[in-house]
Amino acid sequence: MKQILIEKSVLENNDKAAAENRAFLNAQKAFTINLMGSPGSGKTSVLENIISSISLNYNMAIIEGDLYTAKDAARIARCNTNVIQINTAGACHLDASMVRKALSHIDTKHLDFLIIENIGNLVCPASYDLGEDIKVVVMSVTEGNDKPLKYPSMFQRCSAVILNKTDLLPMTDFNIEEFYQDVYSLNENVKVFEISCKDGTGVTSLTRFLMGAIRNKKDV
C-alpha cells in the first residue's frame, strides 16, 4: 500500500514538471518527440539519418538520455546539431525534471523541433510524460515480432512506430503480418514506418512525416 502511494506521488510530481515543459515548448511552438525503444533498436541511428535533411529547413535540438556515457551525444554532435546529454546515473528512464534541466542548457529561442532520446528500455519510459507532443517507438526486426504484445504500454501510448533494421529481415524469423496485426490491435491509429538506417530505406517518408508535424505546430 505504501509503495503504491509513493509511486503515485512520483508520477504526480512528474506530471507537474511535464506540464511546465509542455507549456514552455508550446510557447516556442517547438514540436517535441519522446523517442523510446529497446537498447540497440537504432534510436540514435534514426537521428543520424534524419538530422541533415530536417536541419536544412528547421532549427532542431536533441536531448540524449543515457545511464552513464556521452557516447550518443558525441555521435549527434558529429552531425552538427545542438545536443545535450543527460546521465541518469543508473535510472532506467528519463523524467520531466531531467528534461527541464536539460532545456535550460539549450538555446530554445528559435527552436522548431526537439527530440528527446530516452533510455533504451521497453517498459519504464512509457510511464513518464516528459512534456512531449508525441511518443515514438523505435523497434528493430532483430527483437522479434512478439514485442508489441509483450510490452504493450509503450505501443499503446505512441503515435508512431519505426520498424528499423529491415535490411536484416531475410536473416530473421520476424513475421511482419503478425507484427502489424498486434500493433494495430493495441493502437489502431498508430503510424508505422519501415526503415533501414543501414541502406536508407524508408527514411524519406519518415522525414516527410516529421516535417509535416513540425510545420503543423508552427501554424497553430
Ligand X SMILES: Nc1nc2c(ncn2[C@@H]2O[C@H](COP(=O)(O)OP(=O)(O)OP(=O)(O)O)[C@@H](O)[C@H]2O)c(=O)[nH]1
Binding site for ligand X (CB under 6 A): 37, 39-45, 72, 120, 164-165, 167-168, 196-198
If one asks whether residue 43 binds Mg ion (CB under 5 A), the answer comes out as yes
Q: What is the total count of residues that contact Mg ion (CB under 5 A)?
A: 3
What is the smallest separation between the CB atom of 44 and ligand X, expressed in angstroms? 3
Cα separation, 163 vs 178, in Å, equals 13
If one asks whether residue 147 binds Mg ion (CB under 5 A), the answer comes out as no
If one asks whether residue 44 binds Mg ion (CB under 5 A), the answer comes out as yes
The amino acid at residue 133 is D
What is the smallest separation between the CB atom of 72 and ligand X, expressed in angstroms? 5
Considering the complex, state which of residue 40 and residue 144 has its C-beta at the smaller distance from ligand X. Answer: 40
Residues in the chain: 220
C-alpha cell at 181: 496485426
What is the smallest separation between the CB atom of 141 and ligand X, expressed in angstroms? 9
| Sheet bearing 60-66, strands edge to edge | 82-87, 60-66, 113-117, 31-37, 134-140, 160-164, 191-194
What is the smallest separation between the CB atom of 176 and ligand X, expressed in angstroms? 15
Collect all residues with Cβ–Cβ distance below 8 Å to 212 and sequence separation of at least 6.
none
Considering the complex, state which of residue 30 and residue 47 has its C-beta at the smaller distance from Mg ion. Answer: 47
Residue nearest to Mg ion (CB): 44
Nearest to 82 by CA among 67, 96, 66, 103: 103
